[in-house]
Amino acid sequence: MLSRATWVNDECKAILDDMIFTETLDIIFQVHRAARKGYLCELYPEDNSSQKICTELGRDVFGHCQNKVQKFSEDIDCPNCARQISTTRFAPHLEKCFGKGRTSSRIASQKISSAEFSFPTHGGHTDAPDDDDWQEKKKRKRKKDGGSKKAKKKHIESDASKAAEHNREHVSFSSSYLDEKTSKRKNLKKKR
């Protein structure tokens, strides 16, 4: 004579058994239907179009040369001012053209405080010293002029300013900027 506990146990096992059986049969029927109707390959499709990963030394997963890929850039239209900008220089450009950020506001406040802004150049340019396009123009002009004495002088000056520019741009977390940033962040957090 079966005790109640044993009977309950047996019934539970039977129910679980049935559930597992039914779930398995569900999948079997899906595959069977797919096989009979001819879409079995669509149930678990194999990739037939993607490129296989490249694991060669000196190349990235796409097979591109690593050096080339790291230098990759293209020109895009700035959504703010519509000028053509190189993608690797987009952030510094955006800072100026968008008007936010430290450099932009510093230039803006400097422009306001000094009526005429002079910088040792040729041609009396009054543009801001770290305007990219001006540097580009200077570079092109320098190349055109060739090896005259005057050109050499320009060459040295523009190189020096370029070096200063280069150093400034590659510094991250510079201390004075950092203090400003943390205080700005604190203010915003308070607002929240």
Partner 1 sequence: MGSASCEHVAAFKSLYRLQPLHILHRKLICPHSEFFSREAISLLKCMLCRSRRGKHRLHACLHCVFIGCFEKKHLHRHQKATGHNLSIDLTFGNTHCASCRDYVYDDDFEKVRLACRNGHRNGIHQNLPVWEPEKIDLNFLGQHAKRLTVDGRSTLGLRGLVNQGNTCFMNVVIQALTHSPVLRDYFLMEKHPRCSPSEISSCIVCEFSQIFQEFFSNENSNPMTPYRLLLLVWRNSEYLAGYEQQDAHEFLIAVLDMIHERLQPRIEGGSIDLTGHAERSIIDQVFTGYMQSNVVCNQCGNISQTIDPLRDISLDIPQVPSASLMDCLSKFTKKEQLGNASKINCKKCGKRQESSKQLTISRLPVVACLHLKRFEQTATGSRSKVATPVSFPKTLDMGPFMSSARNTSLSPEFCDSAHYKYELFAVVNHMGNLQSGHYTSFIRQTSSWFRCDDSLITKASIEQVLNSEAYLLFYHKKSIRF
Contact positions with partner 1 (CB under 8 A) in 89-118: 89-92, 94-95, 98, 100-103
- Whichever of 115 and 188 has its CB closer to partner 1, that residue is 188
Q: Which residues contact 105 (CB under 8 A, 6 or more apart)?
A: 99
Whose Cβ is closer to partner 1: residue 2's or residue 156's? 2
DSSP labels for 98-149? H--SHHHHHHHHHHHH-SS---S-SS---S-TT-HHHHHHHHHHHHHH-S-H
Query: What is the DSSP code (8-state) at residue 65?
Result: B
d(CA 112, CA 121): 21
Q: How far is the CB of 148 from partner 1 (least distance, A)?
A: 34
42 vs 116, which CB is nearer to partner 1?
Answer: 42
Residue ranges in contact with partner 1 by CB under 8 A: 14, 17-19, 21-22, 25-26, 29-30, 32-33, 36-39, 42, 45-53, 55, 60-64, 66, 69-70, 72-74, 76, 79-80, 87-92, 94-95, 98, 100-103, 169-174, 177-179, 181-182, 184-185, 188
